[in-house]
Amino acid sequence: MAGGHYTYAEVPLFDAIKDMFSMERNNYDKVGHFFQGFVPAILAREILIRLNVVNGKAWLNLFIVSVCLAFSAFYEMIEWWVAILSGESATAFLGSQGYIWDTQSDMALALIGAVSALLLLSKVHNKQLKSL
């Protein structure tokens, strides 16, 4: 909700964190990109397991991470299209704040989020699926 009210680059809590730790930019968007990997990972896992799409744990995890990265890459494409269509005002929407590696770090955080979700929630998810 905060990102809808403020632009990514101007969320007050993350401005305070930026000032407290002498950071160069407001990193609110980085939290969102982490969760772009974390949340879809369990959703993708649920669908792939229930539909019995792949055999083997390694293939399952590869597909889950791939789905999460595809989702994040699509979002990056939307950001790029908005930047092309809106011109100068795109910086506020994108949250890149002059950081040339913004897209790459966003994708890396989605990867970290997906892997974290698999590591933290797979056992619990398996127990829940067995109880059905």
Name the least confident of 66-75, 83-92, 108-117.
83-92
Q: pLDDT tens digits for 53-70?
A: 999 999 999 999 999 999
pLDDT tier for residue 124 given thresholds of 50, 70 and 90: very high
Helix axes 102-130, 57-86, angle to 10 degrees: 140
Average pLDDT value for residue range 76-84:
82
Q: Which residue has the higher pLDDT, 1 or 12?
A: 12
Q: Where do we find the tokens 């009210």?
A: 5
Average pLDDT value for residue range 96-124:
88
| 21 falls within a domain | no
Q: Residue 90 pLDDT > 80, yes or no?
A: no
| 87 falls within a domain | yes
Domain count, the chain: 1
| 6 falls within a domain | no
Global pTM value = 0.79
Burial class (CB in 10 A: 0-12, 13-18, 19+), 38: buried
| 100 falls within a domain | yes
Residue 61: the pLDDT is 97
| 94 falls within a domain | yes
| 26 falls within a domain | no
Domain region containing 93: 33-130
| 27 falls within a domain | no
Average pLDDT of the chain is 82
Burial class (CB in 10 A: 0-12, 13-18, 19+), 29: buried
